[in-house]
């Protein structure tokens, strides 16, 4: 069943829908299930291809590849953690275990450690991200995929997966493993994009490029591999052992722009000429990973220090920002947000 649909399990049901470039280094096809409509990049990316789109330079602001704005996120995640910690304290014991899968540089995990008495652990596929989180914050962060981590069964009380599920190659297997390591009655807090809002701008770009006779492909800068609807997610959660406690649509304004209901920002719509898509050769670094990691560590640390604003760490500022975002969230029955936010409980 390796090639079956991750949602409905139909075999040989995925047909080509849209050709895109992943971060300008790979040319791939988004396929659509003829049975349930689920859309996903097929063939699934290999370990070597994943390394191409998530290299250490993913966190380097001097590079074109990847997301190079992590230094801005440290204080933003402090605000997220402030309110998330209040929610967690109502759900699990104060000495419980928390795991963040896809913790990146550890900003959210570090803040949660400050605001709770939980034992926190992290996991990320990036060796540099794990290095940074350990060196900067002294966090217990491992490097690898969830399946490679081999955590004990029913080990955690709370799991965080923020902007992760769309990046894994086998979503159903990933959620089954998440359920295995979560205790009975434990919680999974998960945020993942609205697949329709994620894909529609790329489809419109591809159509416009074809109509103009240009040999250009839509550029997918986030490296997303799966594109879920609300119904796809709810069905997948139920079949992997989770009950949906609550769900919200978030980032409504950005979602309305992505869906074309509001005018889109032109700078967010990019194409790349087919001849410019070059699969990079990433040889081993001549002076070893440690030297390279230390350089990146110092660079990100400097950028974080430069952007730090003490006002943004005040609780009063947290509440002001929280209040301003109330109108940018809607209940579950809407599907116009850029992202879905779920709180799930293991049944």
The CATH number that applies at residue 256 is 3.40.50.150
10-residue averages of pLDDT along the chain (347 residues) = 86 95 94 97 92 75 60 87 96 96 96 96 93 96 95 98 96 98 98 96 93 93 94 97 96 93 80 89 59 89 90 93 87 89 97
What are the beta bridge partners of residue 139?
none
- Residue 329: inside a domain: yes
Q: Which two tokens stand for residue 95?
A: 């000495």
295 part of a folded domain: yes
Residue 43 placed within a domain: no
Rounded Cα–Cα distance for residues 109 and 18 (Å): 36
Do residues 101 and 179 touch, judged by C-beta distance below 8 A? Answer: no
Specify the 3-state DSSP secondary structure of 179.
helix
Pairwise CA distance, residues 188 & 227, whole Å? 20
Q: Determine the pLDDT at residue 48.
A: 87
Looking at the domain assignment, is residue 186 inside a domain? yes
**What's the pLDDT score for residue 121?**
98
Write down the pTM of the prediction: 0.93
- From residue 210, alpha-carbon distances to 92, 216, 261, 274 in Å are 53, 8, 23, 13
Indicate the number of domains in the chain: 1
For residue 314, what are the domain limits? Answer: 50-346
pLDDT value of position 269: 80
Give me the count of residues in the chain.
347
Q: Is residue 261 included in any domain, yes or no? A: yes
Q: Determine which helix (DSSP H) or strand (DSSP E) holds 195, and give its type and residue range.
A: helix 195-211
The CA distance from 343 to 347, in Å, is 13
> What is the rounded distance in angstroms from the CA atom of residue 170 to the CA atom of residue 132?
27
Question: What is d(CA 8, CA 30) in angstroms, rounded to the nearest whole number?
Answer: 17
Q: What is the pLDDT of residue 2?
A: 59
Distance of CA 93 to the CA centre of its chain: 27
In a domain, 74, yes or no: yes
pLDDT at res. 135: 96
- Domain presence at residue 285: yes
Report yes or no on 12 lying in a domain. Answer: no
What lies within 8 Å, CB to CB, of 32 at 6+ separation is: 14, 15, 17, 38, 39
């Amino acid at each position: 069943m390796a090639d079956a649909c991750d949602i409905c399990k139909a075999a040989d049901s995925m047909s080509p829908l849209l050709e895109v470039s992943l971060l300008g280094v790979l040319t791939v096809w988004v396929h659509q299930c003829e049975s349930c409509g689920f859309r996903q990049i097929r063939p699934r990316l290999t370990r070597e291809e994943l390394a191409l789109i998530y290299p250490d330079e993913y966190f380097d602001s001097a590079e074109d590849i990847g997301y190079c704005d992590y230094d801005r996120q440290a204080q933003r995640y402090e605000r997220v953690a402030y309110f998330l910690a209040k929610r967690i304290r109502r759900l699990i014991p104060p000495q419980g275990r928390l795991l963040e899968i896809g913790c990146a540089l550890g900003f959210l995990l570090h803040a949660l450690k400050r605001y709770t008495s939980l034992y926190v652990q992290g996991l990320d596929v990036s060796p540099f991200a794990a290095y940074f989180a350990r060196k900067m914050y002294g966090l217990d962060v491992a490097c690898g995929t969830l399946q490679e981590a081999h955590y004990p069964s029913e080990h955690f009380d709370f799991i965080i997966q923020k902007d992760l599920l769309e990046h894994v190659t086998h979503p159903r297997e990933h959620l089954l493993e998440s359920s295995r390591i979560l205790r009975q009655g434990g919680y999974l807090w998960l945020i993942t994009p609205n697949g329709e809002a994620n894909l529609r701008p790329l489809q419109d770009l591809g159509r416009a490029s074809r109509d103009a006779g240009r040999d250009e492909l839509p550029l997918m800068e986030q490296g997303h591999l799966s594109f879920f609807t609300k119904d796809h997610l709810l069905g997948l959660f139920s079949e992997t052992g989770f009950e949906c406690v609550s769900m919200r649509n978030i980032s409504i304004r950005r979602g309305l722009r992505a869906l074309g209901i509001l005018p889109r920002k032109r700078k967010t719509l990019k194409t790349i000429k087919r001849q410019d898509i070059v699969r990079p050769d990433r040889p081993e670094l001549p002076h070893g990973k440690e030297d390279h990691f230390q350089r990146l560590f110092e660079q990100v640390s400097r950028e974080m220090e430069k952007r730090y604003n003490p006002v943004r760490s005040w609780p009063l500022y947290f509440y002001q920002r929280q209040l301003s975002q109330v109108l940018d969230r809607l209940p579950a029955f809407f599907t116009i947000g850029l992202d879905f936010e779920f709180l799930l409980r293991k049944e």
